[in-house]
Structure 1
Amino acid sequence: MKDKDLKIFNELVKLKSFTKTAEYFDVTQPTISLTIKRLEKQFHNKLIYQTSNQSAIMLTNAGHVLYLKSEEILAELGKLKYDVEHANDRLLRVAFCGFGGDRYMADIVERFNQQGLINMLDTRHELASTAFKELDHGELDAMVYSWSSPVSNPKYVINNIAKGELVMIVSNSHHFAYRNTISINELKHEKFLIRESGNYTREVLLSLCNNAGFKPEIAFTAKSRQLMIQLVEKGIGIALVIDKLVEDNHHIKVIRLPEEQKRWMYVQIAVRKDLIPNKKQSKGIKILNKFHTDDALN
């Protein structure tokens, strides 16, 4: 079986058209037809069918299995091609995402620098959801990220490095500044500062308020964590943040939620398990796998 045959079959399933598939690969339509017949002969099964010459391509049960498997195989072949072609590279492609990446990436770069490996790092700042997809497709070697629960995936070598608690923060002059704990139910008349859509702390806050039976009044939507914290300091509103962001800030008061409302953020480093590093890359991988902080997870 040729790689090209699988690619043609895979694209035919997605485009649902012999004509469009032929145009995509810049070949004739009979070439696509011959490819499908060759695969059907090899697997002793009909793979596709059409109810008429003008109808869309439909998959048989065997075709459906081949499509799912071909997705996995082609992804693995893509990673294999990159890894072999770049076997002599010194680089490690590392994404840093969200609070976890922002908080700990500088420390990780420092470790690489201490061992004379800083030039090995090829870093990018991305959404965790995007980075996970790139890691799965071999477009990344590792990522530093934060997630609402510890990620466990057999495709990755996971290093748990920190755990942060979500807390409410108010200015020192706020009428709740004397409190050490507070229930979301007591905050229905407060003005909130939140992050943009898709941010974890925003989603948690909205969920907690919904569970308490009210819709929070939003004073301002901040584009960065730093701006949101600065606005809290100025008394514009209150906010839900990860405690490690404000542990050294003397201009605000941290108020914890009761046990039944507590939420956490887990910081991890994931390294692609199927990566076969050269000797130089192995040193960098070791730093990522062994990296720890004073607040490491048990």
Structure 2
Amino acid sequence: MNLKDLEYFQRLVRDKSFTKVAQAFHVSQPTVTYAIKRLEKELGADLIIRDQSHRSVVITKAGQILSKHISNMLKELSVAIREIDRLKEETLEFGLPPIIGNYYFPKLSTFLFKNDLMEHVNLIDGGSKDLYALLKRGKIDMALLGSTEPIRDPELYSELLVKKQFTIVVSPEHPLAQRKSVAFSELEHESFVLLNEHYVHPIAFDKFSQQAHFEPKIIYQSSNLNILKGMIKEQVGIGFLVELAINADDHLVSIPIEDRPQPDFLISLVQRENVLQTTYRNQISQIIREFSDVEKTAQTPE
């Protein structure tokens, strides 16, 4: 079965016009017609219904089934081409969300430099939800992703590394700053500034809200963590962030949330399933696992 014939057919499904398909591929209209006839002969089924004038095209049930599978085939072929190109360049497209990156990468980079791997890693920045989509499309090879539930996807291999807690973040001058912990229900009259839908935080925030049985007042959402920290510091609103998002230099106060049960912030190493495991990919995966083990050991009380 000819790949070009499949591409012609897929474009015909979209455009419903032999003329438009021929123009798109810079070939003659008979070339497209013969391609479709070849496919029909090979499959032993009519893929399209033509009217007498050839002005309209109707896709048959068999044609619809073929189109669905062609779409998956072309998608996987595109992914394979990108992965082979990166294999030639000996690079790894590595997705790293800002919060996880700010916390982990300064330490992780030490391991990568020590093992001469840094030059083979191309960092891709973005929220966990965006990086997840890039992994699915084969645009990146690997990512450290945040989620509130274990990542289960037949196209991806996910390995849970660390669990963190969500916290309420306030200015040192805020009345809540002296609290050791807070119940989410106590925040009904507070104004929130939050990360937007590119991150997993809104999912966890909704879960806390549902458990507390009230609709919080959200006055601003952004993908820029530094802007939110500045707004929290100026007491424009209070924040809801995973504990590792705040460090001493921020001069902000993180308050543990008392509610039980509560969603965790899960950090997972996620890769595409069924990809060639190169030496670089295996080394980087192993270093990330070792670093996470050191992190977990440091957190375990003696």
Length-normalised TM-score, structure 1: 0.83
> Equivalent residue for 1:265?
265
Work out whether residues 184 and 212 of structure 1, in 8 Å CA contact, stay in contact via their aligned partners in 2: no
Q: How far apart, in 2, do the equivalents of 1:150 and 1:25 lie? A: 44
Question: Equivalent residue for 1:190?
Answer: 190
Q: Which residue of 2 aligns with 1:69?
A: 69
1 CA distance for matches of 2:86 and 2:223?
37
Structure 2: distance between partners of 1:170 and 1:183: 14
**What secondary structure is seen at the aligned counterpart in 1 of 2:90?**
coil
CA distance in structure 1 between the partners assigned to 2:51 and 2:182 by the alignment: 64
Other-structure match for 1:124: 124
In the other structure, the counterpart of 2:213 is 212
Tell which deviates more after alignment, 13-22 or 97-106.
Answer: 97-106
> 2:5: which partner in 1?
5
Which residue matches 1:100? 100
Partner of 2:229: 229
Supply the AA of the counterpart residue of 1:259.
Answer: R
Partner of 2:253: 252
**CA 1:216–1:278 in 2, change beyond 3 Å: closer, same or farther?**
closer
Q: Deviations over 1:6-26 (max 9, x none)?
A: 122222223333222222111
- Deviations, residues 163-199 of structure 1 (Å, cap 9, x unaligned): 2222212233322334334333322222222234544
CA contact (8 A) 2:128 2:198 kept: no
CA distance in 2, matches of 1:197, 1:170: 21
**Is contact 1:48–1:63 with CA below 8 Å preserved after alignment?**
yes
Q: What amino acid sits opposite 1:97 in the alignment?
A: P
The amino acid of 2:292's aligned partner reads: H
Residue 59 of structure 1 aligns with an amino acid whose one-letter code is I
Matching residue of 1:179: 179
Alpha-carbon shift at residue 151 of structure 1 (Å)? 0.7
- SS of the equivalent of 1:177 reads helix
1:194-250 alpha-carbon deviations (Å, 9 max, x no partner): 2345443345446654763345052x5455223323433343321111112236566
Change in CA separation of 1:285 and 1:239 when aligned onto 2, cut-off 3 Å: closer
Q: Which residue of 2 aligns with 1:163?
A: 163
The two structures, once aligned, show a CA RMSD in angstroms of 3.1
CA contact (8 A) 2:163 2:265 kept: yes
Over 3 Å counting, the alpha-carbon distance change for 1:195 and 1:30 in structure 2 is: same
Asked if 1:295 corresponds to 2:296, the answer is: yes
When structure 1 is superposed on structure 2, of 34-43 and 228-237 the one drifting more is 228-237
The Cα of 1:111 is off from its aligned counterpart by 2.1
Query: What is the Cα deviation at residue 269 of structure 1?
Result: 1.6
- CA distance in 1: counterparts of 2:288 and 2:11, whole angstroms: 37
Aligned to 1:113: 113
1:120-170 Cα offsets, whole Å, 9 max, x none, are 112221344443343334332112221232212232232222222222122
More displaced stretch, 1-10 vs 157-166: 157-166
Aligned to 1:152: 152
Please show how residues 5-44 of structure 1 align to structure 2 within 5 Å.
5-44=5-44
% identity of equivalent residues: 21
Q: Secondary structure at the match of 1:111?
A: helix
Counterparts of 1:158 and 1:229, CA distance in 2: 31
Paired residues, number: 294
d(CA) in 2 for partners of 1:259 and 1:271?
Answer: 32
Is the Cα contact below 8 Å between 2:129 and 2:198 reproduced in 1? no
Structure 2: 5+ residue stretches without partners: none
* 1:289 Cα deviation after fit: 5.9
Q: Which has the larger helix fraction?
A: 2
Partners in 2 of 1:285 and 1:89 — Cα distance? Answer: 19
